Structure 1
């Protein structure tokens, strides 16, 4: 029988914040799934999510495929035993938890080359924020000694404010000769990434590893956002949670 592997995004796919749980399950039915650095609860699972995770864990191997860093992934309280894809595909962990060094070396070179563009755009966004009185600022996300992307969060969690930054600052900058960068906006996160940083690339790398280890396999992809669609499309089957950005763009529009 062919071995089966599920590449699964984490946040808003296998669990979510308490605010987003309100539309999915009553408070008393929730269980903690991830934590902040101070030990307080960050995200919860619903009964349906727990049942789904138990179901897929019986018949396939779940491979987290997430934007989370090494530190924030370590604070996820779910059991995983295989490869892990972190930082939008910037880092791959091997089953023993160590960083896959060949992939890390490749990504470090690509990300170092992309860093000046991220710094330039970050300065433009911060200058715009200063001029307009906007309270948010950019943050460069680095992990294991490698810079990966910049992110802006709205301090008041007004998602429409991030749309304005994307429209007035980011998209014009990309159109002005910076096509090797792309935007990922979902909820209260506006991230700008080098196009060479892509979960799909890391998933393809891990999939090839798995085929060398196990022969022919069956792959599943699961995610909630537009940016997840690329790696999901490369899998044999795709799974989309309801009431997510990706479901609203696909199945819920039919």
Structure 2
């Protein structure tokens, strides 16, 4: 019996990346766009060959932190489920929002919102006190608040490490263990612990098993925040020169 194969794949820095993260500049093609229509990310020839290869034998399910709006500006073609906002939103194959999951997540995220707001105020107060130019932003989508994020205006990642060490981690240690940190590149995100790609992957995997019987699952991602959902899949794929690669195979 031929089992159906499904690849849960992160997008940014996994299937494509910004120009400055491309190892070479030859034969790049646009893969995602900013809201003004300019290109924000590109694929390399190797990534396009890999994408063609996996589409021949398996169904690709985007598993990303991107929102509904930013996902619509990705030019790669997908035809199955889509997991957005770190798993906070699941799109069905017809493009509609999975309402049972949305209702569950809306309740959890609404309960976690006061903590996110308190931490955002603490980070912004620290920024005002120290003269730091960055500020927090609450990410909301489809009427649900999900997480807060800080980006360094000058893309100095050491500044985000300082915020994490001096503000965020002490706040979490001070009785706020229902939240976790994701820092990769120029993104410092603080999420409710209940917002996890792995939870959404488990939900969709169970749905796929009901639809198709026994299946094989693959997980692919670049960040340590992807590791949990990848570990729950039958096989894991890690792109080289990424945060997750440095923490695992490159270390060995």
Q: TM-score, normalised by structure 2?
A: 0.99
Moved over 2 A (4+): none
Alignment partners' CA distance in 1, 2:224 and 2:244: 5
Segments of structure 2 that go 5 or more residues without pairing to the other structure are: none
Deviation string for 1:148-194 (max 9, x for gaps)? 00000000000000000000000000000000000000000000000
Mapping for residues 92-111 of structure 1, pairs under 5 Å: 92-111=90-109
The alignment status of 1:17 with 2:18, answered yes or no, reads: yes
Q: Report the TM-score when normalising by structure 1.
A: 0.98
Among 204, 211, 214, the residue aligned to 1:213: 211
Name the residue aligned to 1:172.
170
Separation in 1, partners of 2:98, 2:221: 23
2:136 alignment partner, one of 138, 158, 174: 138
Aligned counterpart for 1:34 among listed residues 32, 35, 47: 32
Q: What is the CA RMSD across the aligned residues, in angstroms?
A: 0.4
Structure 2 counterpart of 1:45: 43
Equivalent residue for 1:247? Answer: 245
Q: Which deviations, in whole Å up to 9, do the C-alpha atoms of 1:187-217 show, x marking residues without a partner?
A: 0000000000000000000000000000000
Identify the residue that residue 199 of structure 2 maps to in structure 1. Answer: 201
Q: Is there any run of 5+ residues in structure 1 with no aligned partner, and where?
A: none
Q: How big is the shift at 1:29?
A: 1.2
- Give the Cα separation in 1 of the matches to 2:112 and 2:155: 29
2:184 aligned with 1:186? yes
The count of corresponding residues between Structure 1 and Structure 2 is 251
Deviations 1:103-147 (A, max 9, x none): 000000000000000000000000000000000000000000000
